[in-house]
């Protein structure tokens, strides 16, 4: 059994020292591993599959060593046949199994759309609830080393409009563990989209198992001047930008991490906008359509009277991802992008002139 609390604590505390003051500190990857190990030990119906889950690297380290512990019948590599293997997962889930299907790029999810959109998300509805499809599809965006247009896409916006799917996008090790446990427990198909740049992040994570409910956002910082809403690595950038602006110009931004985009925590968004009157939506995906558009429309419909300025969106421009390093620096939003957008929003109801560069 991998879920050995004593061993987990020893491994997590090795060389950190922080745990003595703040609690047990582990990495994002180890947090996911703990969630998987707990569910694998608890439920024999849980199994892991995907291209590379049993490789020495183990899917960015997330599944490393699991085949040796749980055996090849529960942790196994798959052919390059994403639709076929997703169909097998759907069938297995309908008969009581709980597959967790790993992809090392969200781009490969595009090959599963027939099974995800036409079958997994609709079966419970079409047969009047006779069957459930408790399956998890996990993927990590691969940007940062010139992956190019076909290996670094953030496609959550394409899946957002599909009824029956749940979509999870954590930003912290704590959330990665709790949301993975919730996802495996859920009787519906769940998509988890991770970000590679978060994989080495560390934070305090309890040793005991815990589940984080879907559809509950969280305040990452409180403020009075403007509201920032988003998920995943975009929230990391926004928090850094907000901290810098508070020190430099005493602009106090409220930052909300949605954690899941389907279901969406509408209440926390409207609550914050009612307080600040200004909204900036940040995403790791394209600005057109998707999360930015959905949240902007939500606030326009349900909290328009609270707005003091037009809604601001920060995400990817309407073009494919470049492969060259220099072009990547222009294509992807960064802390400076976030700060400039926040300044523009903060000053949007004032008669002032300033130089702003926003990657949109």
Active site residues: 151
Cα-Cα-Cα-Cα dihedral sign, residues 292, 267, 187, 168: positive
Dist. CA 25–CA 18, nearest whole Å: 7
Dist. CA 176–CA 171, nearest whole Å: 7
Dist. CA 105–CA 189, nearest whole Å: 18
Asked if residue 171 lies in contact with residue 206, where contact means CB atoms within 8 angstroms, the answer is no
With 0-12 / 13-18 / 19 or more C-beta atoms within 10 angstroms meaning exposed / middle / buried, residue 192 is buried
Strand order in the sheet with 226-230: 218-221, 253-257, 226-230, 279-286, 312-316
- Residue 143 exposure: Cα atoms within 13 Å on the Cβ side: 24
Given its phi and psi angles, is residue 79 left (phi above 0), alpha (psi -120 to 50 degrees) or beta? beta
Query: How far lies 253's CA from each of 98, 222, 227, 241, 300, in Å?
Result: 41, 7, 6, 9, 20
């Amino acid at each position: 059994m991998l879920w050995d609390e004593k061993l987990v604590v020893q491994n997590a505390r090795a060389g950190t020292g922080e745990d003595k003051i703040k609690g047990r500190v582990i990495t994002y990857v180890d947090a996911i591993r703990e969630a998987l190990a707990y569910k694998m030990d608890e439920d024999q119906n849980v199994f892991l599959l995907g291209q590379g889950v049993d490789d020495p690297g183990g899917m960015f380290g997330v599944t490393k060593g699991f085949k040796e512990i749980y055996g090849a019948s529960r942790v196994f590599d798959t052919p390059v046949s994403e639709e076929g293997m997703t169909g097998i997962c759907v069938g297995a889930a309908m008969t009581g199994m709980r597959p967790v299907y790993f992809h090392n790029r969200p781009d490969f999810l595009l090959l599963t759309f027939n099974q995800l959109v036409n079958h997994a998300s609709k079966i419970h509805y079409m047969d009047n609830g006779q069957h459930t499809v408790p399956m998890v599809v996990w993927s990590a965006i691969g940007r940062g080393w010139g992956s190019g247009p076909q290996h670094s896409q953030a496609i959550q916006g394409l899946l957002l409009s599909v009824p029956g799917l749940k979509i999870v996008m954590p930003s912290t090790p704590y959330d990665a563990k709790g949301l993975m446990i919730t996802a495996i427990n859920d009787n519906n198909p769940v998509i988890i989209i991770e970000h590679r740049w978060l994989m080495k992040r560390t934070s305090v994570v309890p040793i005991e198992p815990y589940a984080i409910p879907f559809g509950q956002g969280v305040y990452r910082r409180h403020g009075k001047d403007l509201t920032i809403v988003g998920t995943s690595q975009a929230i990391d950038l926004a928090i850094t930008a907000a901290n810098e602006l508070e020190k430099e110009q005493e602009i106090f931004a409220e930052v909300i991490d949605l954690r899941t985009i389907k279901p969406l925590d509408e209440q926390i968004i409207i609550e914050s906008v009612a307080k600040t009157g200004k909204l900036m939506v940040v995403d790791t995906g394209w600005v057109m359509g998707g999360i930015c558009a959905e949240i902007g429309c939500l606030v326009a419909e349900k909290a328009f009277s609270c707005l003091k300025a037009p809604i601001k969106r920060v995400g990817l421009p309407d073009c494919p991802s470049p492969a060259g390093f220099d072009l990547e620096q222009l294509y992807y939003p960064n802390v400076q992008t976030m700060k400039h957008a926040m300044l523009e929003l903060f000053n949007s109801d004032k008669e002032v002139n300033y130089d702003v560069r926003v990657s949109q």
